[in-house]
Amino acid sequence: MTRKLVSSGSPFEPEIGFSRAVRIGNQIAVSGTAPIAPGGGVACPGDVYGQTRRCIEIIEAALKDAGATLGDVIRTRVMLTDMNTWKDAARAHGEVFGTIRPACTFVQIVQIIDPQWLVEIEADAVVA
């Protein structure tokens, strides 16, 4: 099967050695996606809701480049640095995935690469 690599242009991709997303056949895995602003830096500093929305925007673009949509997502993983903010992340997630309803996990982690990142999201999709 053909392996398609999708890049978002993140400076971390070559440094770490990963792709924003990888598609093999009808399956797509989207890497942990941080709230990086369009011009670089941190999107929505201090705002878990805004950062979650930004992560989902980046995921949506990666899925599009891989030939999929948010409607093809079957699983998300939401990693938070403070579980007390889960409702803000859940609100943003629910606004996008409320009718799609993928399997979803929320977990608290100690820290992400940049301490200003409050959330990071992974997604898996299957294209019918």
Per-residue pLDDT tens over the stretch 105-123: 999 999 999 999 999 999 9
Given a cut of 90, is residue 12 above it in pLDDT?
no
H helix intervals, 1-128: 12-16, 48-65, 86-97
Of 75, 73, 85, the residue nearest 119 (C-alpha): 85
Q: What is the pTM of this model?
A: 0.95
Of all helices (H) and strands (E), which one includes residue 118? none
End-to-end CA distance of the chain: 16
Give the chain's domains with CATH numbers.
3-126 (3.30.1330.40)
Structure-token match 């997502």, residue found: 73
- Interstrand relation of 73-80 and 3-6 (parallel, antiparallel or unpaired): unpaired
- Give tens-digit pLDDT for 36-51: 999 889 999 999 999 9
